[in-house]
Structure 1
Amino acid sequence: MSVRRRLVVYVQGYDPRGLPEYYRMFRQEFRKTLALYGLTGSVGKPANDPERFVTTWHADMHGAGWDVDTTYMFLRWEDIIRRDFARPAWWKVPAMYLAMLHTIAQGMVWRILQAHWRFGLFIIYPMVLTTLWALAGAAVGLAAAKLIAWTGLPLWLGDLIGAGVGFAAFAFALNATEKHTYLLYLCDDIVSTWQFAHGRRPDWEARMDLFAGYLVDAVKASDADEVVVVGHSSGSFLAVDVVDRALARDPALGEHGRPVRLLTIGANLPVVGFYKKAQWFRDRLRRLAVSSQIGWVDFQSRHDIMNLWPFDPVAGHGIDPGPARRNPKVVSISFRDMWRPGNFGRRRWRFFQAHFQFLLANELTEAPYDYYLICCGPQDLAARAAAAH
């Protein structure tokens, strides 16, 4: 199907940067895409609705014999995320340990390691590194206590000073390396995702329900040839949640004369779906798996350790919908097809940057995946996914 008008609904993941960073990135990477393919186009200014948690901008792209107008709806909840990030470190770290110990005790980490060992290592990385920093702090504190004792001061005073020095060393290591390790960010991410999976985030649920209403209204009001709901990273399980909620609100969603597609990229669905208490989420996956109204495409890459590859989002959760299954179409892509040769090895090990490649412009023209052509090009998502194999 040739697309002339498209509506993209982007469900923000767990990232406190929110709208300013994502709009800057979209505009910058859009321009790179135009230059790469020799196209023309522009991105309009974002229009924020002060009474709704949504910001919209328009993009037009033009090629030989085709023109596409895209409306890009950015669904916002960075206000909630920033409240999470405002929690003090003395709360974040113990809460992360409690969530991880519960996760390990349930066998979830083992299931993730079986699904893909690299993603499993990424899951336990925050706890392992935080523990190493704590042990290093304890070693510094012990050395300080022995030094104080050597001066002849009372042992209790040496122990007290040593404990303070050790805690200060741990706190320094945690904060000084945050720019590179993202440990405090990951503490918030782990705890909040655990809470959401166990039904303990009514603020998240209320916002996703609001987003579902926005989606239903936007589809009904749109004259687009295609509607694409996008979820990247943690936005993947939230996009699944929003689309299923929207179907519950409007069982005819996707039957209003324009196809509705769900696009998950760099997805990490098991961080919710593998919890025993998350049957509600597995039910959402089952319903989407058999939906005739929603076309779901999941792009994943072995070069991104922050998504599961290879992974079937339905069967991987132990769901067997039988012959009625329609979704998702899983497409494996290689960043080698998207990056200029020369420094591939170095780039793939910059984990967070590689993870965001799903939202960045390509550097080569023949790649089967290109985010900005998916959003703004003339080929519909189903055809692009089919051609990727």
Structure 2
Amino acid sequence: MIRGDMQETETQPFRRQVFFISGYDPRGALFLHKNCVTETDKWSETSGYPVKTGPRKNIGKLVRRWVITSDIPGGPAETNFDFLQWDDIIRAHWDKRNWLVYLQGIGVLWRLFLDGVFTRTIRDSWPISTVMVAPAATAILHGLGVLLPLIGLIGLYFFPGIIGKVIALALIGIGAYAFWWIRKNMDRYRPEWNGRIGVFANKMAISRDSVPGLDERLNQMADHIVASIEEGKPDEALIIGHSFGTTLATIVAARVLERRPEWGGKDSPLGFVTLGQTQSLLSFRKKHGWYHEELSRFAKFPDFNWLDFSSPPDGACFALINVLDFLPNPPKSMPKMLNAQFHKIHTEEHMNEARYFRMLMHFFYLHANGHPQIGTDLYDFVLLIAGNQSARQRYAARQSGKPYFKKEK
């Protein structure tokens, strides 16, 4: 059993176990650990309360662990933060040829259209459709940037009359502008990264075995979580997924509940948190497959504590979309869909930077608040992973939100 009744005292801190599954990022534990060090230091400096991230340790081949300690009003807390590795699988599918990724993006976009994902995305959460289009648009605009000036140069010689020369010059200008614009905006939309995610998501949609080793890794993650909770008996255990990692984390959490169904009740300290969800890349598909089968397991646990944080300005997530809405009778308040409200927790300078570099906001879920507020239910990554209050308690009073972009019928 999980121990959920431990009282926080000066001698006995609130004990938490975090199991973190990253997005489609080959940088792995090194990047996330550095992020935790940086962001807990920032939070401490801003709030005046000490939160410290310790060094990385290897716990077998699957896990990299570090300890996060805090001493804030209400008592101390200690978190074992387990980074569950799958970056080796990512690197095996990480094509370094950006030009090929852009070309593949055309096929990915076509597949998303045929499967109904793109059409529904435009209707229910349109900002991320820009991210879906970006790789294909990059390939097309690069092609136009080369082809149109070439045709124009040939046309200067062969096109007859003044009108022909004007058309030729226009083709050169349009092609040059297309090439200039896409090169200027590459860093804003990161089409090479998003293209790789799209390719991988399409592979995952095919079957459990379409990505070699992935299904086994998900089972290993679930087994590690079960064993760690049973051994450590923490006050709170959180499975956390970010970005495309939310897709894997939903599978892992479902398999943990399958192994230990008693952990799915409303009094269980086990919780699940998805940050900047992208699960709809699979769940929006008209033809239901293995991923829908995995998600269907949550129907048995309507009181399970699943918090889904997203933000409408984050153009790389499906904002406030209930990924379980394909179920015949989905749970009424699970997952609890919450707006991260970045405009309330980050500085205006930070927000303005993200409004230009569109992908930056997708990482705000992992950043320290510019204005930490301990006694509120505002989203706070540092308090989520290092605070002395459980996520269930902190967000108990907040109601699940409604789809932000989807028009109600």
Structure whose residues are more often helix by fraction: 1
Q: Give the whole-Å Cα distance in 2 for the aligned partners of 1:181 and 1:340.
A: 22
The 8 Å contact of residues 10 and 229 in structure 1, kept in 2 or not, is answered as: yes
Give me the CA root mean square deviation.
Answer: 2.9
**Pair 1:348 & 2:350 matched:** no
The 8 Å contact of residues 116 and 284 in structure 2, kept in 1 or not, is answered as: no
Would the alpha carbon gap of residues 281 and 188 (structure 1) be closer, same or farther in structure 2, given more than 3 Å must change?
same
The 8 Å contact of residues 315 and 359 in structure 2, kept in 1 or not, is answered as: no
Deviations 1:247-288 (A, max 9, x none): 334444458x96210000111221111123443222333322
Partner of residue 380 from structure 1, selected from 361, 369, 390: 390
Would the alpha carbon gap of residues 196 and 67 (structure 1) be closer, same or farther in structure 2, given more than 3 Å must change?
same
The 8 Å contact of residues 6 and 226 in structure 1, kept in 2 or not, is answered as: yes
Q: How high is the TM-score relative to the length of structure 1?
A: 0.84
1:209 — aligned with what? Answer: 219
Q: Secondary structure of the residue that 1:85 maps to in structure 2?
A: coil
**Pair 1:8 & 2:18 matched:** yes
2:323 — aligned with what? Answer: 313
Would the alpha carbon gap of residues 14 and 178 (structure 1) be closer, same or farther in structure 2, given more than 3 Å must change?
same
Identity of aligned residues (%): 24
Q: Secondary structure of the residue that 1:275 maps to in structure 2?
A: coil
2:72 — aligned with what? Answer: 63
Q: Give the whole-Å Cα distance in 2 for the aligned partners of 1:185 and 1:385.
A: 33
Q: How high is the TM-score relative to the length of structure 2?
A: 0.80
Question: Partner letter of residue 297 of structure 1?
Answer: L
Would the alpha carbon gap of residues 94 and 128 (structure 1) be closer, same or farther in structure 2, given more than 3 Å must change?
closer
The 8 Å contact of residues 272 and 278 in structure 1, kept in 2 or not, is answered as: no
The 8 Å contact of residues 19 and 76 in structure 1, kept in 2 or not, is answered as: yes
Q: Which runs of 5+ in 2 are unaligned?
A: 9-13, 160-174, 400-409
Q: Give the whole-Å Cα distance in 2 for the aligned partners of 1:308 and 1:337.
A: 20
Query: How many residue pairs end up in the alignment?
Result: 366
Q: Give the whole-Å Cα distance in 1 for the aligned partners of 2:124 and 2:212.
A: 30
Q: CA deviation at 1:139?
A: 2.1
Q: Secondary structure of the residue that 2:17 maps to in structure 1?
A: strand
2:407 — aligned with what? Answer: none
Q: CA deviation at 1:16?
A: 1.3
Q: Give the whole-Å Cα distance in 2 for the aligned partners of 1:355 and 1:177.
A: 17
The 8 Å contact of residues 251 and 294 in structure 2, kept in 1 or not, is answered as: yes
Q: Give the whole-Å Cα distance in 1 for the aligned partners of 2:39 and 2:362.
A: 15
The 8 Å contact of residues 19 and 74 in structure 1, kept in 2 or not, is answered as: yes
2:151 — aligned with what? Answer: 142
Q: CA deviation at 1:144?
A: 6.3
The 8 Å contact of residues 310 and 318 in structure 2, kept in 1 or not, is answered as: yes
The 8 Å contact of residues 234 and 267 in structure 1, kept in 2 or not, is answered as: yes
Q: Give the whole-Å Cα distance in 2 for the aligned partners of 1:384 and 1:5.
A: 16
Question: Partner letter of residue 71 of structure 1?
Answer: N
Q: CA deviation at 1:217?
A: 1.4
Aligned pairs for 1:259-338 (under 5 A) are 259-291=269-301, 294-315=304-325, 318-321=326-329, 325=332, 327-338=334-345
Q: Give the whole-Å Cα distance in 1 for the aligned partners of 2:184 and 2:64.
A: 34
Q: CA deviation at 1:319?
A: 2.0
Would the alpha carbon gap of residues 97 and 71 (structure 1) be closer, same or farther in structure 2, given more than 3 Å must change?
same
